[in-house]
A and B are shown apart, each in its own frame.
Chain A
Amino acid sequence: MLLTRYVARRLLLTIPLLIGITLVLFLLYNLIPVDPVAVLIPESGFRDPELTAQTIERWGLDRSLPEQYMIYILNLLRGDLGISFITRQPVMDDLLTRLPATLELTVCAMLFAIVVGIPAGLIAGLRRGGWFDRVTWLGTLITASIPPFWLGLIYLTVFWYDLRIAVGPGQIGSRMNRPEVVTGFITLDSLIAGDLNAFRSGLAHLVLPTLVLGGFTLAVVLRLTRAAIIEEMRREYIRTARSKGLRERTIVVRHGLRNVLLPLVTLLGLTFAGLIGGAVMTETVFNWPGLGQYLVQASINLDYPAIQGGTLLVATAYLLVNLLVDVLYGILDPRVRDDG
């Protein structure tokens, strides 16, 4: 099968999935016992019939359910996710304002997991049973089993509040001026503004949340790499390579590692989308003004348009990353294309 046809087929498959997600979200909305009018109108205006009628019309609350669903879908296609009950802003704008902070943290966490996790996994796997293997086994067990909000609190208390060797919560030092928003990424924006102090502060503020958010992914990546390399090094082709007299280093990097990368791509794709969801806890603890905090607030206040929009965004991110992984797989391993 041609690669383009393969990609097109995968893309088509995501459409029913997306429709399914929107339908579930829409139906859930109608199960919650909230009268949007009561939420939208200020306390003292509730008995103002003119204002009530206006609100009902403006939000299309007097239509039938299928009609409301159609309105919802048509708005979605135009990129309109509705207006948040709480912020009174378009949900799309709200999400886009907060997305960069979450992405910045997520990318850092991902890089941390890859840069540390893969080499450490290799070393642990190659020296199986050695002291390094044992130490990483214990370390990954701990980071993978402690919930991130708890770990975040501990890190903050120990490294910031007690030892004063790390900076506190937030995206940038409290007494520091935020650089002008260009990309929304605080490190990039401070570089664009040429403010090196803000850049340093921004980087320093990324350290602890990255450790917390990336810790779990790191553990998974490390364990997977370790298991995969142990598996690969037992294979016949490695023995052949050895018998050919290749250097051990070449064998590991050029032959073993290549085959380990394949399952890692799947794993990393899934965890990247998962990280965006996992950022909810981390952002709350670290006072990080990202999507996570927004969604927590939205859930507490039952701000349904915001919950709907946020859920749709995370779900779409999952679908897209899955798609990307499938495509990458198709490129890396042509056999996959034929199977589909």
Chain B
Amino acid sequence: MKSTAVFKTGHLLMLVSVMIALALGAVAVGAQEAPVIIVATNIGDVVAFDPAQNGSFTTNSLYYHLYERLYELPANPNDPLIPNLATGHSVSEDGLVWTFNLREGVTFASGNPLTAEDVVFSWNRVAGFRNEPAQVFSLFVDGVEAVDPLTVQVTLKTGAFPVPVPFFDVLTALPSFSIMDSQLVIANGGSIDRSEDTAGEWLNQNSAGSGPFILTGWATESEVTLVRNENYWTGEIPAIGGVTLRQVNDSTTALQLLETDDVDIAQNLDKDLAERISANPDLTLQAGQTLSIVYLALSPSDAFENSPLVDARVRRAIMLAIDYDGIVNELLGGFAERPAGVVPVGILGAEESLPYRYERDPDTARALLAEAGYSDGLEITLNFRSSPLGGLGTDILAAKLAADLAEIGVVAVPNIQADSVFRTGRNTRQFSAFVTTFSADFFDPTNWTILFAVPGFANIGFYIGLNNEALQDAAFETLFAPAEERAAAVASFHQMLADEAIYSVLYQPQTIDAVANVVQGYQFHPIALINYADLSR
């Protein structure tokens, strides 16, 4: 018995040591081989990985993983903001001074602690560079200073809005408000003075943030590599080892790469591949709701000679002639929303506005045209840019609109131009009618209401020579109204917009991603696009 027991103990010891060895081995292997997620996507819009230099679709989505901000935008933009680097803030009575309390114990991936100086440096650098990312900052902010290591004070200005922006906390969640590790950036040549800054090249291959991932490389139009931040201050280090974005220009090729297991996710695919993705048992189709809109603008301005569009009845007739459901269901395969007006679905007030949405009604349209004296029909030129509009080929959309309008006797001659030619024509007010897309800078309804209605402040109203005071007042009401009445203010703005028949939103596109079933935890985010930190494989 005894000898057996000893023998057994020996066995047990051996077994335990083997198990420990195995476990250690597994840990070592696990640490080494945390899977890297490969994403087939288009990174052609990346110009630089410096938040002060470039705010393209792709870079903005990646800043979200590399850097962090005082507040973060939730996946559903209607949900409350998520405090991140800030724990809270207070606002002075006149609304001009915002004081943010920073979270204690936050460290960058480099190990440097995050302080108020980093916030001041990052924001001033973006503003001082005067590039695209500086736009929102310079519209609303007068200055930013560090009160103490954990307190930042921001002074706002009026001008863009008649009052200091009442939702500045929402703006701090934008990618251009990302917080950089000032010590690390300065050590690599960074400065808030554009003429002295030489950090651009370093920032194109590295990041200086506190987010769950670190940038480790960017090869132009080829690949972007991220690895997880092993020092992530929250302690919630991502399960995946990293993410590699691969440039694939063509949707079908991207899907083929996914089918052959060369990649794990194929991002932003053409809508016509939806059926093929759904039919594949190894893949999951993920539709993500964007906040961009594709809209038709008809100028009420009399600056265009003999423009029939000066008559609101003609504009209204055109908008009633469009087969919106056909565009969404037939052309976009159902992967789009139809908001009531310029404020997209998912934003405050969009739902309350739905009663004022245009629905197709050719009979009323014809009657309106006859009333306006155009019973024999009329001709307009519809201007388009050539690149796809929300994933739909411009030529297809142009043909559809022309066919719909032909039914009420309106000849819509499509004029499809290279993007830069289109931009030139529109910015110099040569178009009385155009179709294009709009993506917001920030996710408050005023980004749409004021931008589309007030010509003095922003462009879209300016492009079509809009000068409608009642509409401007309605737009500003969406800013001034007390919080609980803002949704109603957005709805009444949309009601007035529908009566004036100046803009008609054709659709709000969704993106389609195909994801291999081995990848777990996918969730779409309107800016970050994919929540890489929560993925596993």
11 A-B pairs with CB atoms under 8 Å apart are A33-B421, A38-B423, A39-B423, A168-B253, A168-B262, A174-B40, A178-B217, A287-B248, A287-B250, A289-B219, A293-B221
Q: Which residue of B lies closest to A173 (CB)?
A: B262
Q: How large is the interface on B (under 10, 10 to 19, 20 to 34, 35 or more residues)?
A: 35 or more
Give a binary string over A158-176; 1 marks a CB under 8 Å from any B CB, 0 the rest: 0011001000111101110
Report the bound CA distance from A168 to B263 in whole Å: 11
The answer to whether residues A45 and B38 also contact, given A97-B220, A289-B220 and a CB cut-off of 8 A, is: no
Q: Which of A211-241 contact B (CB under 8 A)?
A: none
Query: How many A residues have CB within 8 A of the partner chain?
Result: 45
Q: Do B387 and A300 touch (CB < 8 A)?
A: yes
Determine if B104 is an interface residue (Cβ-Cβ < 8 Å). Answer: no
Q: With a CB–CB cut-off of 8 A, which chain A residues contact B250?
A: 287
Contact of A35 with B36 at beta-carbon distance under 8 Å, contacts A88-B47, A289-B221 already known: no
> B44 within 8 Å of A by Cβ?
yes
Query: B517 on the interface (CB 8 Å rule)?
Result: no
A178 touches B418 (CB 8 A): no
- The answer to whether A47 touches B222, judged by C-beta atoms less than 8 angstroms apart, is no
Per-residue CB contact flags for chain B residues 218-248 toward chain A (1 = under 8 Å, else 0) read 0111110100000000000000000010111
Whole-angstrom CA separation of A38 from B418 in the bound complex: 13
Q: Distance in Å from the Cβ of A155 to the closest Cβ of chain B?
A: 13
By a CB distance below 8 angstroms, the chain A residues around B386 are 300
Interface flag for A46 (CB, 8 Å): yes
Instruction: Mark out the residues of chain A between 24 and 60 whose CB falls within 8 Å of any chain B CB in the assembled complex.
Output: 32-35, 38-39, 42-47, 51
Q: Is A197 at the interface (CB under 8 A from chain B)?
A: no
* A259, CB-defined interface residue at 8 Å: no
Contact among A44, A97, A297 with B458 in the assembled complex (CB-CB below 8 Å):
A44
Closest CB in chain B relative to A296 CB, distance in Å: 9
Measured between beta carbons, the chain B residues less than 8 angstroms from A34 are 418, 420-421, 424
Residue A294 CB within 8 A of the other chain: yes
A250 adjacent to chain B (CB < 8 Å): no
Complex contacts, B468 vs chain A, CB 8 Å? none
Whether B253 and A301, one on each chain, are in contact in the complex, defined by CB atoms closer than 8 angstroms, is no
Judge whether B38 and A174 touch: CB under 8 Å: yes
Q: With an 8 A cutoff between CB atoms, is A302 at the interface?
A: yes
Chain A proximity of B460: nearest CB distance (Å): 9
The reply on B496 being an interface residue by CB < 8 A is: no
Distance of A159 Cα from B103 Cα, bound (Å): 56
Proximity bits, A66-81, B CB within 8 Å = 1, else 0: 0000000000000000
Q: Which A residues fall within an 8 A CB radius of B?
A: 32-35, 38-39, 42-47, 51, 85-89, 94, 97-98, 156, 160-161, 164, 168-171, 173-175, 177-178, 181, 284, 287, 289, 293-294, 297, 300-303
Asked whether, in the complex, the Cβ of B418 is within 8 Å of the Cβ of A42, the reply is no
Question: Are B418 and A301 in contact (CB-based, < 8 A)?
Answer: yes
The answer to whether A300 and B249 touch (CB under 8 A), given A35-B424, A87-B47, is no
Complex interface: chain A residues within 8 A of B36 (CB): 175
Complex CA distance for A46 and B257, rounded to whole angstroms: 41
In angstroms, Cα B44 to Cα A89, docked, is 13
* B419 interfacial contact with A, CB 8 Å: yes
Q: Which residues of A have CB within 8 Å of B427? A: 35, 38, 46
| 14 extra A-B contacts, CB within 8 A, seeds A47-B459, A174-B262, A287-B248 | A33-B424, A34-B424, A42-B132, A42-B135, A44-B459, A45-B132, A47-B462, A98-B220, A98-B221, A168-B262, A289-B222, A297-B221, A300-B418, A302-B421
Asked if A293 contacts B257 (CB within 8 A), the reply is no
Residues of A within 8 A of B256 (CB): 160-161, 168
Residue of B nearest to A169 (CB): B253
Q: Give the shortest distance, in Å, between B188 (CB) and chain A (any CB).
A: 19
- A160 in contact with B260 (CB, 8 Å): yes
Question: In the assembled complex, which residues on chain B have CB atoms less than 8 Å from the CB atom of A168?
Answer: 253, 256-257, 260, 262
Contact across chains for B257 and A174 when beta carbons are under 8 A apart: yes
- B459→A294 contact, CB < 8 A: no
Distance (Å) between the CB of A204 and the closest chain B CB?
13
| A174: B residues at CB distance < 8 A | 38, 40, 244, 246, 257, 262-263
Which 6 A/B pairs are nearest by Cβ-Cβ distance?
A35-B424, A174-B262, A289-B222, A42-B132, A38-B427, A38-B424
Roughly how many angstroms separate A132 CA and B246 CA in the complex, as a whole number?
43
- Contact present for A178 and B222 (CB under 8 Å): yes
**B8 at the A interface (CB under 8 A):** no
The docked-state distance in angstroms from the alpha carbon of A181 to that of B218 is 11
Cα distance, A38 to B131, chains bound together (Å): 14
B364 within 8 A of A: no
A44-B458, A173-B262 known; A178+B423 contact, CB < 8 A:
no
- Rounded to whole angstroms, the CA-CA distance of A171 and B418 in the bound complex is 30
Q: Is B170 an interface residue (CB 8 A)?
A: no
Bound Cα distance from A33 to B419, whole angstroms:
11
- Rounded to whole Å, the gap between the CB of A190 and the closest CB of chain B is 14
A289 to B221 Cα, complex, angstroms: 6
Report Cα–Cα, A289/B458, bound state, in Å.
38
